Amino acid sequence: MDKKSGIRIDGFKQAMELLKNLDEKTRSRILTEMQQKDPTLATHLAKSVAKNLFSFAELQELSDRSLQSLLRKVPQEKLVLALRGATPEMKDKVFKNLSARMSAVIKEELMALGPQKRAEVEKAQQEVLEFADKMGLKVEKMTKE
């Protein structure tokens, strides 16, 4: 609670928002330094920032070029599992940005993939988001390329 204004300030949320808006290199450096002083807090912040960068569904807001770059980095098995919980629009966007052959392979693997635990699908989606973050991809409204 700020004594002057009487407003309650959530320091954790403020720190998370700050870190979320930094580039990957700077964020990583800060979290590494925090890890030495307060490992529990640093770990909790890192996980919270990763979860709140943007959602898996928002990946369809990436430009085609950015999405193609991301899809080249994500392991195929992670992509298949992540797409298991994706909207039809998201799947269409992904398939449009893969080669015809790779699209067919992924579609076949999706059909063969039996029921999956929601937690596993969400974990795979989170890992795809972490790849996007490491690549410095930002979700913005699509622009013509």
CATH code for the domain in which residue 47 is found: 1.20.5
Question: Do 144 and 85 sit in the same domain of this protein?
Answer: yes
Whole-structure pTM value: 0.65
- Angle ∠(124,128,131) on CA atoms, nearest 5: 140
pLDDT in tens, 99-125: 999 999 999 999 999 899 989 998 999
pLDDT in tens, 52-64: 666 788 888 899 9
Judged against a pLDDT cut of 50, whether residue 12 lies above it is answered with yes
Question: Do 72 and 38 sit in the same domain of this protein?
Answer: no
Question: Do 30 and 99 sit in the same domain of this protein?
Answer: no
Judged against a pLDDT cut of 50, whether residue 141 lies above it is answered with no
pLDDT in tens, 78-106: 999 999 989 999 999 999 999 999 999 99
Question: Do 43 and 61 sit in the same domain of this protein?
Answer: no
Dist. CA 102–CA 11, nearest whole Å: 45
Domain limits for position 100: 55-145
What's 59's domain CATH number?
1.10.220.30
